[in-house]
Amino acid sequence: MANIKSAKKRIRVIDKKTARNIRIKGHMKDAEKAFLAAVAAGDVDEATKAFRALEKELMQAAAKNTIHKKTASRKVSRMAARLNELKQN
């Protein structure tokens, strides 16, 4: 356990950031599951709504440095490709 005041504060700050990151990643995973379920069901309207929500969650996570900016862009690109494939069929 830390004895120095600044080290104790850093522990508190890290705990808050860890909790925030876990919460944000949970929202991302929920949004991704909803999108993939809509794609699997073949529901274009629901998949489009879920894609918008997923893109928002990913970009917010990237903005808060929970995930890397390029990771978010890559995931959005892959999901957009799936959505476009669904719309084609």
Residue 7 near residue 43, CB atoms below 8 Å: no
Determine the pLDDT at residue 23. Answer: 97
Residue 1 has pLDDT above 90, yes or no: no
Average pLDDT, the chain: 96
Alpha helices in the chain (DSSP H): 5-41, 44-63, 69-88
Q: What is the pLDDT, as a whole number, of residue 3?
A: 94
Question: What local confidence, expressed as pLDDT, does residue 28 receive?
Answer: 97
CA 71 to CA 89: how far, in whole Å?
28
